[in-house]
Amino acid sequence: MGGVRAGSQRFCNNKCHQNAYILSVSRNNIPADVLDRKVESVWHDNCPKCRGLGPVDVHKIHQVWSCLILTQWSTKVQVTCHACAVKRQMGGVVFSFLFGWWGFPWGLVLTPVQITRNLMGISHGPDPSRPSEELRKLVLINLGTQWLASQKAAASQPPPLPK
């Protein structure tokens, strides 16, 4: 159903396809020690939402909204401290509880699923003793994006004039 095809692979959308490309390029061009240092830096940094102390990691917020025969569900990823994640996940629980049930049949099916996913995220979030693999992946995508931009900028520079 839908998505983007690239050869034998299928991606949920163009952004997922682009991130897969960036990951493949990044794994070959970003040194492991650079990635490790950046992951540790992000993980030990202050929360980008509340500016409170970390650890900062990847958290997911799940929501569902329904109206008669229309149901829309989403999962949003945020890099924050645990306290900020819990606030957003509880917001996802309340939002889904209030607005998720009103569609047939998917609202009735997906509302308890999304509420449960939020509650599981609250109680079983990322391990606070070490950065998650999801954080490593997001940092690698970010570093890869920067690396690709620098390669593109270097390629577009005119050659230096002879002296």
Structure-block tokens of residue 74: 């989403």
What's the mean pLDDT when you consider all of the chain? Answer: 93
In a domain, 151, yes or no: no
What b-and-e string marks burial along 37-55, b requiring 16 or more CB atoms within 10 Å of the CB?
A: ebbeebbeeebebeeeebb
CA–CA dist 103, 126 (Å, integer): 32
Q: What is the pLDDT of residue 59?
A: 98
Q: pLDDT grade, residue 17 (50/70/90)? A: confident
Q: In total, how many domains does the chain have? A: 1
Percent of the chain with pLDDT over 90: 77
100 DSSP assignment: S
Q: Is the pLDDT score of 128 beyond 70?
A: yes
First to last CA, the chain: 60
In a domain, 56, yes or no: yes
DSSP H helices, the chain, are 14-29, 32-44, 82-99, 106-123, 133-156
Note the pTM of the prediction, 2 decimals: 0.84
Query: Is pLDDT larger for residue 5 or for residue 70?
Result: 70
Residue 151 φ then ψ, to 5°: -65, -40
C-alpha distances out from residue 77 to 28, 143, 156, 159, 160, Å:
25, 18, 34, 42, 44
In a domain, 160, yes or no: no
CA–CA dist 132, 1 (Å, integer): 30
In a domain, 65, yes or no: yes
Query: Is pLDDT larger for residue 8 or for residue 148?
Result: 148
Q: What is the pLDDT of residue 7?
A: 80
> Would you say 83 and 59 are in contact if contact means Cβ atoms under 8 Å apart?
no
| Residue-number span of the structural domain to which 39 is assigned | 31-146
Rounded to the nearest 10 degrees, the angle between the axes of helix 32-44 and helix 133-156 is: 120
92 DSSP assignment: H
Q: pLDDT grade, residue 52 (50/70/90)? A: very high
Query: How open is the CA angle 47-52-57, to the nearest 5 degrees?
Result: 35
> Would you say 12 and 1 are in contact if contact means Cβ atoms under 8 Å apart?
no
Mean pLDDT of 107-120: 97
In a domain, 128, yes or no: yes
Span 78-113, pLDDT tens digits = 999 999 999 999 999 999 999 999 999 999 999 999
Q: What is the pLDDT of residue 61?
A: 98
Span 131-147, pLDDT tens digits = 999 999 999 999 999 99
In a domain, 91, yes or no: yes
Q: pLDDT grade, residue 2 (50/70/90)? A: low
Q: pLDDT grade, residue 1 (50/70/90)? A: low
